[in-house]
Amino acid sequence: MSVPAAVIEDDAPDAPQTLDAFLASVSTRAFRFAELGLRHREDALDAVQDAMVKMLAYAQRPPSEWTPLFWSVLRSRIIDQQRRRTFRLKWVLPAPAGDEGAVDWADPGPDPSRSNDSREAYTRLAEALQQLPARQREAFTLRVLEELDVGTTARVMGCSEGSVKTHLSRARDALSKQLEDFR
């Protein structure tokens, strides 16, 4: 007799059992995801904060539902901010300063050269991801970096599983071409 996957996920020892623990565990990855999509640090912080506040309404839902719910909410917030930016009247509200998308994060490792290599690798990956179309970037980030399954990624992106696979395949091809000399 097999045990349903939802039961296994809920009983997993490392699965967050409170919404606060879940949000704390996903906050850094969510910020990086938002920053890649918005290319602006403050907008990314706002999007993540809005998504986390919205998740408070779902605190009574089972913990197994939090992951797809959170990523769907965050994705919606990112799209909303991108739309607002598109319709901004440039002569009334200039574009935010420092919109170059630089990421400042430190590696806690003791070796400075390794820290520099990791930071350089992340910067190159972030730059390559920014060159991808939005759907390919979302599919790659959710499937590869967040390790969500195809079904969950499809629900988050609001498309079919086949579309997720297509976007992911195209993203991997484009990234391998862009990062070929970095290997």
168 and 124 both lie in a single domain: yes
Closest CA to 78 of 148, 155, 157, 172: 157
- What DSSP state is assigned to residue 56? G
Query: What's the pLDDT score for residue 96?
Result: 54
For the record, the structure tokens of 29 come out as: 């990855």
Among the candidates 71, 88, 105, a domain finishes at: 88
User: What is the pLDDT averaged over residues 166-172?
Assistant: 93
Q: How many domains does the chain have?
A: 2
Establish if 163 belongs to a structural domain.
yes
Establish if 97 belongs to a structural domain.
no
Alpha helical stretches, state H, the chain:
5-11, 19-38, 41-55, 63-86, 112-131, 134-140, 150-157, 161-178
Residue 43 lies in domain = 15-88
Closest CA to 58 of 49, 69, 48: 69
79 and 22 both lie in a single domain: yes
Is 60 exceeded by the pLDDT of residue 72?
A: yes
User: What is the pLDDT averaged over residues 169-176?
Assistant: 91
Q: What is the pLDDT of residues 75-121, one digit of tens each?
A: 999 988 888 776 654 544 455 555 444 444 444 555 555 556 667 77
Is 50 exceeded by the pLDDT of residue 4?
A: no
User: What is the pLDDT averaged over residues 52-69?
Assistant: 92
CA dihedral 8, 14, 16, 21 (to 10 degrees): -170
Query: What's the pLDDT score for residue 180?
Result: 81
82 and 119 both lie in a single domain: no
Is 90 exceeded by the pLDDT of residue 49?
A: yes
41 and 79 both lie in a single domain: yes
Establish if 134 belongs to a structural domain.
yes
Query: What's the pLDDT score for residue 85?
Result: 74
Establish if 93 belongs to a structural domain.
no
Establish if 9 belongs to a structural domain.
no
Establish if 100 belongs to a structural domain.
no
Q: Give the CATH number of the domain where residue 130 resides.
A: 1.10.10.10
24 and 78 both lie in a single domain: yes
72 and 119 both lie in a single domain: no
Q: How far, in Å, CA of 85 to CA of 38, rounded?
A: 9
Establish if 10 belongs to a structural domain.
no
Establish if 77 belongs to a structural domain.
yes
